[in-house]
Amino acid sequence: MDSHSQKRTLQSASETSETPVWHTYDAQQVNDRLHTSPQGLSGAEAAQRQQQYGANQLPPAKRRSGLMRLLAQFHNVLIYVLLVAAVVTALLGHSIDSGVIIAVVLINSLVGFIQEGKAEKAIDAVRNMLSQQAVVIRDGHRQEVPAEALVPGDIVFIQSGDRVPADLHLHKVKELNIEEALLTGESVPVLKQTQPVAANADLGDRTNIAFSGTLVTYGQGTGTVVATGAQTEIGRISTLLADVSALTTPLTRQLDSFARWLTGSILLIALATMLFGSWVRGYALEDMFLAAVGLAVAAIPEGLPAVITIALAIGVQRMANRHAIIRRLPAVETLGSVSVICSDKTGTLTRNEMTVTTVVSACCNADISGAGYNPHGTFTCNHQDLNLSNLPELQQLCRASILCNEAQLRQKNDEWIIEGDPTEGALLVLGAKSGLDLTELPLEMPRDDLIPFESEHRFMATLHHDHNGNGVIYIKGAIEAILPRCQWQMSHGHEEKLDSDYWSQQQEQIANQGQRTLALAMLRVDENHRILHFDDVSKGLVMLGLVGIIDPPREEAIQAVAECHRAGIQVKMITGDHIATASAIARQMGITDSPRAMTGNEVEQLSDSELQARVEQVDVFARSSPEHKLRIVQALQACQHVVAMTGDGVNDAPALKRADVGTAMGIKGTEAAKEASEMVLADDNFASITYAVEEGRTVFDNIKKSILFILPTNGGEALTVIAAIAFGTMLPVTPAQILWVNMITAVTLALSLTFESTEPGVMLRPPRNTRSPILSPFMIWRIIFVSLLMVSATFGLFLWERSNGTDIDTARTIAVNTLVVLEVFYLLNSRYLTRSVLSRDGLLGNRYALYAIAIVMAFQLLFTYLPIMQLFFHTEALSLADWGKILVVGLILFLAVELEKKLLHSVSKTE
């Protein structure tokens, strides 16, 4: 049938009849109805169906509307205070002040709204980088496509760790267990099968359907897509779970509560100042009210939460640029304090580009030449070419390599690529190098059944029969999994008694060179044996040989390990591989020269407290299972470590959840692992974790810088008002002017600090102690020191001007500009926490800071010289000499802070 008529039929089926009751159908009926077959759709047909059915996506979650988000900005103590103040000032007849207050409220809210929107967008953009992939058969080939591209009729393959990408009618399963809590609330996985079930079966009983969004916990299966997007069961009951990224983290919450406490205190101080001013100093209550409002606005660090959110969002973006995708915002700050990284070996520390270089049989040790997945190479022994026709055990081993295999080797342009597990890819290449035909052999020996590889049992087995009914089981896996099942070994084509010691020694030798080893074995079975059970491979197997596979270390990971060491971060390898292989790789990676290693079995023997006592000393955990990972994380956390842990399998989820920064692999990781993680590595590379840690430390530094900038500037502004009232002098800055200063500086200057790039030496410091408070004694000192400098400078200059007979409006204009210029200079100081900024880079290195300064100064010129501003704010034009004085005062503050850095360097170095 051509695709047009197919489309018509499909359309008419969907238009005329009610939705088919798929679970009552068998595979044939489903495929007939959807005009598909086990070979899958053609690419063209799939594209057409995608147009008809749309993308396989759930309707997006409803978000808070823009208006609601804007209104939320007004829900803030400061805004309430200001609104009350606006009403009171209006009632008192101060319409200009009232107007200024309203303008401040509007601008503050608008800026908050825009900033929040930007931060959310930045984080969403990163989230969208994590699209789900699905394995589908199209044009007769197995291929990976984005899950959104699936259409009804596609044949999809799922295995443990996958999220089911669409509703599938299953036609082939192997111990397929699916957890359907999302749909049914039942967290015990359901064992799936392929037979039709009754029409009235509940969702949980439709065991021949795999529902979109549910999680494969074990086994594998293949099925036909029967519904996509909103047509799936999950699509019908809900739209996408509202996964709106809350822009809060422990740090922002901590700071929020600090800000609330501060706001309360400031309001009390403002009230006290107002009463003091009017009762003790005899000022008019009305003036004092305005002064108190100015004081409150000056002192409350209302911009702080927004600035911190932005700093986190910028961190998320920068990490994404370096292949570390943050799924949960708090991870950004936690990353800065990571003290141990527990990493997988394969693919994370190593390249996951496997090549078989050694084959050991009972009769010979062969070296295999060739590089990568190019299937050309030779077998040699002591530099002599081997003739495989004389070595039946090697022939069998190569047959097993091809048949007991789920991967595919393809040539794309000039490059050989594999689809599937690289270990298996390497075995296919080995088979091809032996001269076997990768397409013919599976046709001669079709597969009847298999036991898929799972890291719990560490082997895989397949059952085949040739067309004459001769049956054979091939099995491959870790030597510890295979050897105990063998009774015989093949030597010169005959079966002889197994020599376990020989194989163990050989394996040790290969592993010591850092090669990954796999054992291969076989068992002949009779014609009627068509289903493969675990019991069938439990004993009596014939050992064929061992293969040694090299997987070169990633160069950048070696450097990253060294960088971690310099940064006081321990690196531990947790791998499913053999202890000797793992230790050799640990040496190559520079984790340590003499790795202290422990196997999963040993971990099991230890009690929790014994493990805690030893865990810090161990560098390599070999033959580890996901349960061991969980115990290792817990033990490290009990030793007060902040742990980043990598993982990829479905069973890694508990350890990833438990770790402070669970880190899933973006390429080889399962959906289950990604969902349990805080961070996903787009390139599976260990080095990306180190970059993320560096960025995490930078974000934290920038937050500290912002706090150290914002608090003293608020403090300086507020103290100026308090001092005036306390000393009974005229206010050096009017309430309206304070509002102005706050409005233009709060959102511009501090924000530029969140863009600061990483300071050199960030990765030479030990990790931050998470229990130490954000405001360290050093920071409190700096805040008090700078606040006092600011108030003395502004107030001092104002009093000096007044004593020289300058009129009040000009003196105030000078005071306001002094305050702003002081902030500008202090912004430059704040670029580095403890280092001097007296260098080209220190002064000019952050272009955002320079833009911010330019904007602020432009506004100050308007403020000083524009007639309408002069009317609103009672400002007067200043002379060049006035500006000279202001700049000198600014410079003095700048140098004073630089001097403080120099003097306190030894103290502050510990910050």
- Residue 679 bridge partners (DSSP): 326, 663
Q: Which is nearer to ligand ATP, 602 or 759 (CB)?
A: 602
Asked whether position 346 contacts ligand ATP by CB under 6 A, the answer is yes
Task: Give least dist CB 399 to ligand ATP, A.
Answer: 16
Q: Which is nearer to ligand ATP, 507 or 734 (CB)?
A: 507
x/- letters, 126..165, toward ligand ATP (CB under 6 A) = ----------------------------------------
x/- letters, 556..575, toward ligand ATP (CB under 6 A) = -------------------x
Pairing verdict, β 133-138 and 155-159: antiparallel
Q: Which is nearer to ligand ATP, 589 or 822 (CB)?
A: 589
Residues 429-468 that bind ligand ATP (CB under 6 A): 453, 455, 458-460
x/- letters, 400..429, toward ligand ATP (CB under 6 A) = ---------------------x-xx-----
The C-alpha atoms of residue 637 and residue 635 are separated, in whole angstroms, by 5
Residue from 180, 563, 577, 671 that binds ligand ATP (CB under 6 A)?
A: 577
Task: Give least dist CB 347 to ligand ATP, A.
Answer: 6
Asked whether position 477 contacts ligand ATP by CB under 6 A, the answer is yes
Q: Closest Cα partner for 369 from 550, 597, 245, 525?
A: 550
The C-alpha atoms of residue 352 and residue 418 are separated, in whole angstroms, by 12
- Burial label for 850, CB within 10 Å (0-12, 13-18, 19+), is middle
Task: Give least dist CB 891 to ligand ATP, A.
Answer: 58
Q: Which of 287, 344, 652, 660 is catalytic?
A: 344
Q: Which is nearer to ligand ATP, 142 or 328 (CB)?
A: 142
φ and ψ at 498, to 5 degrees?
-70, 135
Strand segments, DSSP code E, in 93-150 are: 133-138, 141-146
Asked whether position 679 contacts ligand ATP by CB under 6 A, the answer is no
Task: Give least dist CB 522 to ligand ATP, A.
Answer: 14
Instruction: Tell me, yes or no, if 437 is annotated catalytic.
Output: no
Is the Cβ–Cβ distance between 425 and 147 less than 8 Å? Answer: no
Tell me which H or E stretch contains 237.
helix 233-237
Is the Cβ–Cβ distance between 577 and 706 less than 8 Å? Answer: no
x/- letters, 166..205, toward ligand ATP (CB under 6 A) = ----------------------------------------
Residue 344 neighbours by CB under 8 Å, 6+ apart: 573, 574, 575, 646, 647, 648, 665
Strand segments, DSSP code E, in 333-458 are: 340-343, 355-360, 365-368, 379-381, 384-385, 408-412, 415-419, 447-451
Asked whether position 344 contacts ligand ATP by CB under 6 A, the answer is yes
Cα-based distances in Å from 604 to 15, 217, 454, 600: 60, 23, 20, 6
# residues near ligand ATP by CB under 6 A: 20
Q: Which is nearer to ligand ATP, 33 or 485 (CB)?
A: 485
Task: Give least dist CB 458 to ligand ATP, A.
Answer: 4
Q: Both tokens of residue 167?
A: 């509703």
- Residue 495 bridge partners (DSSP): 490
Task: Give least dist CB 164 to ligand ATP, A.
Answer: 22
Asked whether position 245 contacts ligand ATP by CB under 6 A, the answer is no
Residue from 196, 223, 422, 576 that binds ligand ATP (CB under 6 A)?
A: 576
x/- letters, 366..395, toward ligand ATP (CB under 6 A) = ------------------------------
Q: Which is nearer to ligand ATP, 259 or 537 (CB)?
A: 537
Q: Both tokens of residue 132?
A: 């789900």
Q: Which is nearer to ligand ATP, 156 or 418 (CB)?
A: 418
Sign of the Cα torsion 751, 757, 759, 763 reads positive
The length of the chain, given as a count of residues: 911
In the bound state, the residue with its beta carbon closest to ligand ATP is 576
The C-alpha atoms of residue 899 and residue 620 are separated, in whole angstroms, by 48
Pairing verdict, β 447-451 and 459-465: antiparallel
Sign of the Cα torsion 754, 760, 766, 772 reads negative
| DSSP state letter for 61 | P
Asked whether position 476 contacts ligand ATP by CB under 6 A, the answer is yes
- Burial label for 516, CB within 10 Å (0-12, 13-18, 19+), is buried
Q: What is the CA radius of gyration of the chain?
A: 35
Task: Give least dist CB 454 to ligand ATP, A.
Answer: 9
Task: Give least dist CB 79 to ligand ATP, A.
Answer: 53
* Residues recognised as catalytic: 344
Q: Which residues bind ligand ATP (CB under 6 A)?
A: 344-346, 421, 423-424, 453, 455, 458-460, 476-478, 516, 518, 575-578
